[in-house]
Amino acid sequence: MKPPTANAVRDLILERMDEQLAARGLTPSDVPPTFDLLLEGLIDSIGVVEIILMLEQRFAIEFDFDELPADDLTKIGPLAAYVERKSAPS
Amino acid sequence: MTAPGRYAPLSLRFLRSALAFPERPAVEAAGVTLTYNELHRRALGIARLLLERDPGSGGPQLSAVFASRSVEAFAAVLGILLRGHGYVPLNPRFPVLRNRDMLQRAGCRVVVVDPQHLDAARELAAELPEPPVLLVPPGEEPDEEVALPVGAPETPAYLLFTSGSTGRPKGVLVRQANVVAFLDAVSARYDLNETDRLSQLFDLTFDLSAFDMFAAWQNGACVCCPEAGQLLRPSEFIRESGVTVWFSVPSTAMFLERLGGLKPGMFPALRLSLFCGEALTAELANGWAAAAPNSVVENLYGPTEATIACTAHRWQSGSEPGANGFVPIGEAIGATRTRVVDEELREVGEGEAGQLLLGGPQVVEGYWDDAAATARSFVTMPGDGHSYLTGDRVLRPLGGGPLEYLGRIDSQIKILGHRVELEEVEAALQEEARAEAIAVGWPLTPSGAAGIVAFIASPSLDTVQLRRALSERLPEYMVPRELRVVEELPLNANGKRDRQAVLSILEAER
């Protein structure tokens, strides 16, 4: 599998939320990197677990929570960048 | 507390607590706390509006809830029960098509909506042939006399939809009598009281959420939903919310362990830790027991069809696990009867494996509006009466010890505790891709949690488009993590196309 770009990861996450984004007057491309999925109410605390599991399985990676602080975990920019970094061949 | 054997509906159980503990907290969610008195008044307001808008007694006695996990959602559930209806939880995080299908099949005339989801609810309702009334609760209501119906034993408590092997979700109608039987069983077992605070980690579409709400409310205890982000700092959630009773699927606990949230002695205030919904490994149970040294640790088991949970096993840390390293699922609680049977429904001997059959007052009548599915899974057994064939393979141990879970007899898998029938995923794949497809559950990451991998026989398929189409009709956990396009579906050793052949390929790639 080709390693994903941060943009592809971002699209994958936001694609499933376009109805909720539309309710906030946003399209996926408007969403700034600092947008916090949790604080903006797009997911709840259980949803975080689901998204991380989805990303781990989709890209066959394992999050190391020491590398990604909890505050960044739910921000779209840092989260997508982390998945790209983690998926890159070492 | 309700004396066993005396029927009291859910609404009455709540009302008793509201009278006894009016100023104690009943629910905390998203930074808002409601006392019993406040929750009662809000729910009464909703019940009264429901009576006004939907006074009829014909048709299904069901009303829907469309809300995020907030105090509004809990008030809506209670308001619907006070109205004498059962609640049908929709999920704002599910695709519109799925919510609409559930709403239509339930035949609800009213949907209670929280203000944030009113637009989404309009979209949901607009395309239904008979659009339901959308009701945004007005918040707290003044005290007024309202004559409310009392939930009879056969009154619906809730209608949930679980994954269906024919490609369509199956509805499970759980009646007051079923839930009351469950509550009497757990009351006797756990001795909850008004000082307890229960974690609430489930969507309302997941029946385990009913344990948190109703077990708390019949004892004057509080239901605590973690706030945004709090679950990422579990010890903070447990400490700051003062949680005394933890209830989650093992996947959530495993996630906390990975977050570094499961260190010895971390949760001294927990007195009860309950796990349900999927197999619990002895390793995780031991880790949890060390983190919560003052807590009893129990593994519960139960399908939605037998109301929340119907067997339990108290785990002694460090004791010998059952088959596959799992904690046993234990013995029947309350009035549930278990029997391990072979294909002819004859009880197997001690030390043998078979399918688990459940009888007793927690077993529901059958599937909602689906006689064929009901006939496949519900049987009448001499001596046990109406019984449910779980599809779960268990070991009947020697000497009458606790039952041990072995696996499924069919192709159901669990993802984060959610039931997924692989046939339902395959049906969606085949419809959207217009090609043959096979779906399997497979551990895709080193930590081993199962996700779905799908093989689709359509070489020119646009998988990005397919993924999008699937996301519009399936909940996130049912969308395959990997969509693999192939010329032809693989064959097994017998030349048959089946899931085993796909599993062999994935196994060989490891």
Cβ count within 10 A of residue B152: 13
Nearest-angstrom CA–CA distance, B288 and B280: 11
B445 near A CB under 8 A? yes
Residues with pLDDT less than 70, chain B: 1-5, 140-145, 446-447
Residue A54: what pLDDT? 86
Asked whether the beta carbons of residue A49 and residue B476 sit closer than 8 angstroms, the reply is no
Q: Which of B433, B418, B435, B438 is nearest to B478 (CA)?
A: B418
Residue B445: what pLDDT? 72
Chain A closest CA to B228's CA: distance in Å? 6
Q: Are B354 and B324 in contact (CB under 8 A)?
A: no
How many Cβ pairs within 8 Å bridge chains A and B? 90
Chain A closest CA to B116's CA: distance in Å? 9
Contact map slice: B 238-257 vs A, CB within 8 A:
251-252, 255
Amino acid making up residue B21: F
pTM value is 0.92
A89 near B CB under 8 A? no
Chain A closest CA to B7's CA: distance in Å? 35
Least confident piece of the model among A17-26, A35-44, B43-52? A17-26
Nearest-angstrom CA–CA distance, B294 and B347: 39
Report in angstroms the alpha-carbon separations of B304 from A2, B10, B182, B232, B367.
Answer: 40, 18, 12, 28, 11
Q: What percent of chain A has pLDDT over 70?
A: 98
Residue B510: what pLDDT? 79
Half-sphere exposure of B374 (CA within 13 A, CB side): 14
Mean pLDDT, chain A, whole residue set: 86
Residue B2: what pLDDT? 44
* Confidence grade of residue A39 (pLDDT, cut at 50, 70, 90): confident
A58 near B CB under 8 A? yes
* Confidence grade of residue A28 (pLDDT, cut at 50, 70, 90): confident
Nearest CA in chain B to A61: B445
Q: Exposed (0-12), middle (13-18) or buried (19+): which is B55, by Cβ within 10 Å?
A: exposed
Asked whether the beta carbons of residue B444 and residue A70 sit closer than 8 angstroms, the reply is no
Beta-strand pair B133-135/B197-199? unpaired
A68 near B CB under 8 A? no
